[in-house]
């Protein structure tokens, strides 16, 4: 847990978080981002995780984590409880992504959201020419067992932010190796496999 090496996309998120702040990681999984924030950035970091086994493992590693999910449990927290609310690779699995984003931006001064891009060229090819539901490294599920019920493209997400009146402070598009790529929006929506957004209220 004290190792400095975490997944590249999580490292990108961690780099967006200022030291000695307060953060809530929703869907924190095995707690690797939380542990990094606590150990290397002195962040007062808390986690929420759907799987009880994941929660217990996090707590056994000294992290502050509770069982809960983004749709149901963000409503408990008071306004501005955190500097950042982080939702990594989970937005597409929520029942009501728009409400979840609203809650994140109520509870946190900023929201950091990462998600797979459903308009990536591989997805498009498989859909258009294969005639099958897409399966890619970042979308590895069959249509009948996927937890991803609200997939979107990078442009879809930008449109939602505009519609909600949310300010996009930063947007980073990642290639298949989770390396940031610098491209104009149209190309980004075609070539980006995932994206990380930092948002704040207007």
Nearer to other proteins, 34 or 196 (CB): 34
Q: What are phi and psi of 57, to 5 degrees?
A: -65, -40
Minimum Å gap between C-beta 67 and other proteins is 6
Contacts with other proteins, 37-56, as mask; x by CB under 8 A: -------x-x-----x--xx
Q: Which residues contact 69 (CB under 8 A, 6 or more apart)?
A: 27, 48, 50, 94
Give the one residue of 10, 28, 37, 65 binding other proteins; rule: CB under 8 A: 65
Q: Which residues contact 154 (CB under 8 A, 6 or more apart)?
A: 117, 119, 171, 173, 185, 188, 189, 192, 195
Position among 73, 83, 135, 155 found at the interface with other proteins (CB under 8 A):
73
- The yes or no reply on residue 76 touching other proteins (CB under 8 A) is yes
Q: Which residue in the block uniquely carries the two structure tokens 């597409």?
A: 92
Binding site for other proteins (CB under 8 A): 44, 46, 52, 55-56, 58-67, 73, 76-78, 81-82
């Amino acid at each position: 847990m004290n190792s400095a090496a975490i997944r590249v996309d999580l490292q990108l998120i961690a780099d967006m978080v200022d030291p000695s702040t307060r953060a809530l990681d929703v869907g924190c999984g095995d707690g690797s981002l939380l542990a990094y924030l606590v150990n290397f950035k002195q962040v007062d970091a808390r986690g929420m995780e759907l799987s009880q086994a994941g929660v217990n493992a996090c707590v056994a590693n000294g992290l502050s984590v509770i069982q809960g999910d983004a749709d149901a449990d963000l409503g408990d927290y008071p306004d501005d409880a955190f500097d950042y609310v982080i939702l990594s690779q989970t937005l597409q699995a929520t029942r009501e992504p728009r409400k979840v984003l609203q809650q994140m931006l109520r509870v946190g001064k900023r929201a950091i959201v990462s998600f797979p891009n459903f308009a990536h060229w591989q997805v498009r090819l498989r859909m258009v020419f294969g005639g099958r539901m897409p399966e890619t490294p970042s979308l590895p599920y069959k249509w009948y067992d996927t937890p991803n019920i609200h997939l979107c493209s990078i442009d879809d997400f930008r449109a939602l932010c505009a519609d909600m009146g949310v300010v996009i402070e930063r947007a980073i598009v990642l290639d298949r190796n989770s390396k940031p790529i610098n491209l104009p929006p149209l190309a980004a929506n075609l070539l980006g496999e995932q994206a990380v957004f930092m948002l704040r209220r207007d």
